[in-house]
Amino acid sequence: MRGLWRTIWDTKGVARWVLVGGVLVTLVFVAFALLAPWIAPYGFAQNNIDGTKLPKLAEPGSGYLFGTNDQFYDVFSRVVWGSRTALQVIALSVVFAGIIGVPLGLVSGFLGGWVDRLLVFVMDAVYSFPALLLAIVFSFLLNDKVGGGVIPAALSLTAIYIPQYFRVVRNTTVAAREATYVEAARAIGAGPFTIMRKYLFNNVVQSVPVVATLNAADALGTLAALGFLGLGIQPTEAAEWGYDISRGLDDAQSGVWWPAFFPAMAIILLITSLTFVGEGLNETVNPALRRRRHRPFRFPQRDAAQEVSS
């Protein structure tokens, strides 16, 4: 861990600030998600206090930090609860995709042959397909059969990202397969499963965090798009920013900007910071892109040097 911190700190240019800034903003959203019941003044689908309805479309500030929307909901509460939904869906879809994509890539790259060729071909075909359309088809099916909750939404995003993990892991595996340490492992009698689990996995998995954070950013955008098309998480299940924006669009055209504005800002901020984390990680940890900072160097005192020589 200290080694990683060193690497990041020694990187030249804005890369490390991009990384730190991205992590900080992401942490704010994580705090929102974890502490939503304590931070949000109202529930995500609460439009009354003890039977008295909240005002409709109240302006921001007037007792409601971000105002209220056309369904009598408090916009600030929806944004806070929405970060819980967003992070749940993102985390689940990234984990699902990783669980499927990483072992597939590892096995495919390690085995080679026709299994590898077939898998690469299928994955490339899926990857070439428009991501949003794939997610639309999946959530169209899942909405019909399972319902519009967090887990169906996460599942419909999973399929998009499997090929990306597969590719990265497969390519690094192919490169690592011929390395001396794998040959050594084979020489002392390690079976294929042991080689993959003990030797290759740790070396190959290092490229995953960058892909995962960039996918997380993309997943959030796709989730919002599904919500906009009315296919994502249904409003009764959880607060979702994309749905809130699409609901607020008509109001926005007539000058009532706040119901759509704040969730949109939340999306932009969270995607931007996740992208910063991903690109920052890439530029600091990836030796090919990384540029080292020249640390200030001070020559030793002249008389001290003389003392040494004498």
Partner 1 sequence: MASSSGSLPRYIALRVLLIVPLVWVLLTVVFLLLRVAPGDPVSATVGDRLSEDALDERRAAAGLDRPLVVQYLDYLGNVARFDFGNTFRTDTPILSIVRDQGGATLTLTVGAFLIALLIGIPLGRLAGRFRDTPGDVAIRVYGVVSYAAPLFWVGILLVVLVNAVAPSFPTNDIASPFTKLDSEAYTKTHILVVDTLLAGDTGAFLDVLQHHLLPCLTLGFLLSGVIVRLVRINVIQALQGDYVEAARARGIGEGRVVRKHAFRNALVPVITVVGLQVALTLSGAVLTEKTFNWPGVGSALVRYIGERDYIAVQGLVTFFAVVVVFTSLIVDVINALVDPRVRY
Question: Using CB under 8 A as the criterion, which residues of the chain lie in contact with partner 1 when the complex forms?
Answer: 12-14, 121-122, 125-126, 128-133, 136-138, 140-141, 144-145, 217, 221, 224-225, 228-231, 242, 245-246, 249, 252-253, 257, 260, 264, 267-268, 271-272, 275-276
- Compare residues 196 and 239 and give the one whose CB is closer to partner 1: 239
- Compare residues 105 and 199 and give the one whose CB is closer to partner 1: 105
Contact 101, 119 (CB under 8 A): no
- Compare residues 124 and 183 and give the one whose CB is closer to partner 1: 124
To the nearest whole angstrom, how small is the minimum distance from the Cβ of residue 263 to partner 1?
Answer: 9
Contact 239, 44 (CB under 8 A): yes
- Cβ neighbour number for residue 10 with a 10 Å cutoff: 15
Dihedral sign, Cα of residue 143, residue 159, residue 246, residue 46: positive
CA distances, 142 to each of 133, 139, 152, 190, 231 (Å): 14, 5, 6, 43, 10
To the nearest whole angstrom, how small is the minimum distance from the Cβ of residue 231 to partner 1?
Answer: 7
- Compare residues 94 and 217 and give the one whose CB is closer to partner 1: 217
d(CA 154, CA 216): 11
- Compare residues 121 and 193 and give the one whose CB is closer to partner 1: 121
Structure tokens at 299: 């020559």
CA distances, 30 to each of 19, 33, 42, 224, 270 (Å): 16, 5, 19, 18, 10
To the nearest whole angstrom, how small is the minimum distance from the Cβ of residue 138 to partner 1?
Answer: 7
d(CA 208, CA 197): 16
- Compare residues 204 and 222 and give the one whose CB is closer to partner 1: 222
To the nearest whole angstrom, how small is the minimum distance from the Cβ of residue 152 to partner 1?
Answer: 13
To the nearest whole angstrom, how small is the minimum distance from the Cβ of residue 270 to partner 1?
Answer: 8
**CA distance between the termini of the chain:** 43
Contact 238, 45 (CB under 8 A): no
Residues 202-231 as b or e (16 or more Cβ within 10 Å = b): eebeebbebbbbbbbbbbbbbbbbbbbbeb
To the nearest whole angstrom, how small is the minimum distance from the Cβ of residue 284 to partner 1?
Answer: 14
- Compare residues 72 and 140 and give the one whose CB is closer to partner 1: 140
Residues present in the chain in total: 310
To the nearest whole angstrom, how small is the minimum distance from the Cβ of residue 16 to partner 1?
Answer: 12
